[in-house]
Amino acid sequence: MYDVAPSTKYTNTIVTKNKFTDKPMALFGVLVLGAYFTMWMYVLSSFPEAKTVGLDFLKMLTTSKGILENFLIPVCSVLFLSMLSIFVLVLIPKQAIHISIIGNTILYGILGAYTKSVPFVLLAMATAVMYLFSFKAIERASYIIRGVAQVLLVNVRAMLLFIICGYSVSYFLGASSMFLFKMNNEVANCNPVPFYVNVVSTFIYVIFLGYAGDVYFARIVFKHMVSRAEGRNISVIASAVKRVVYSFGTIVFATTISFIVLVLRAALDYIKEKHHREKKDGLAFLLISILLFIAAIFLFILDVVVETMNTYALTYNSLFGEGYRKSIKESYNIVTNYRSTYRSSVYFVATVFAFINVIGACLVKSFLNKPLMEYIFPISVGVALLVTVLNSVLSGFLAFEFVMIKDKGLVEAVFPEIITKVLERGYSL
């Protein structure tokens, strides 16, 4: 175990700006929330039957069985699986990384073959090639990941708080979508627009939750190290929550960019499907098919790049309190001068990206399949939260690397064995 108490106190030199970042985007996020609640006021005031349908639906959800199946089981499952996965990273970090990368390569290949998606096949090939040239980077990263996993295990209460809060909002969105679906079927002349708005809001929230997790868990790792090094009793959870609030605008910024790319990919899929249904012969049809194919690959790569950029920016924001643009610039400088960071972490970004694609498909099917809606949705959200919590390993890893570059003495004070083992293997810091 690396978590060794420092023999002497060390004063942290990293200063976080305690201010709100990207305020215009924070205002935009508040306006979006206001519009969402205004929509609900319209639904409840325009349809008197909504109260009766809502009360019946609420009774169904608040029974002992409903609470057990829709809240307690998913939350406990997410916490258990998260702790189990992180515990594995403590025991066998290097082997776990190898298994994860090989498993991802196989997963991408299967998804590409099953969905006939060339981007997934290309991603599988790219991951395999990068893996063959990254054994040293993986070994070096394994020491750091073990330290990060230990920090997350020690701060299990912080993880539980994130899961409960995240799932509660997710479940509200899911339950409200089912309520609106029920309204559309049982109330005459009911406007279907709020239902579709709520479905889109759920997808936006899942993206937002992932990026909030980047800020939250990066702060957990950083503040835990500061607390141990300085010998002070710092409230790690309070610091992480406070940082998420300060970074609300930056998280909204990252979510907006990611959602725009998602909309572009969905629009392109719709155009491709419409184009292929025509099945015309001729050079024009072939050229359009090729252009759509190239556009699909471009947007897929853009999605991965945006996901990577956002994760780096939000991790940097969590440590230093800078806005989105400066966080992108500074984290890019770190990446270009410290390439092992990027090579090691890109696997985690790709892992989360692939699983979110699968989870997104499950969410869509849960909304479209009425008999299974009440069962698939809690499971889907539970898996989404599990992926978000596992993403904490990535943001924690990046936070660790940023701290090691900006203030190596802080890492030496708390995790001296990591520094020793990395140097013993001949790797740079």
16 within domain boundaries: no
51 within domain boundaries: yes
The whole-angstrom separation of Cα 321 and Cα 247 is 8
Using alpha carbons only, give the angle 315, 19, 256 rounded to the nearest 5 degrees.
Answer: 55
Region of residue 20 (phi > 0: left; psi between -120 and 50: alpha; otherwise: beta): beta
Considering only CA atoms, which of 423, 416, 419, 422 is closest in space to residue 4?
Answer: 416
pLDDT at 92: 85
Number of domains in the chain: 1
The whole-angstrom separation of Cα 411 and Cα 93 is 19
Using alpha carbons only, give the angle 358, 364, 369 rounded to the nearest 5 degrees.
Answer: 125
429 within domain boundaries: no
Percent of residues in the chain assigned helix, strand, coil, to nearest 5:
85, 0, 15
pLDDT at 245: 94
pLDDT at 4: 45
222 within 8 A of 319, measured Cβ to Cβ: yes
Two structure tokens written together for 325: 């643009």
The whole-angstrom separation of Cα 427 and Cα 66 is 53
Domain hosting 379: range is 23-424
259 within domain boundaries: yes
333 within domain boundaries: yes
17 within domain boundaries: no
pLDDT along the chain (429 residues), means of 10: 53 81 92 89 73 64 68 80 82 81 73 67 74 75 83 88 84 76 70 80 85 91 87 85 94 93 85 74 76 83 84 90 89 67 48 51 52 56 65 82 82 78 58
pTM metric for this prediction: 0.84
Outline where 187-247 has alpha helix (H): 193-230, 236-246
105 within domain boundaries: yes
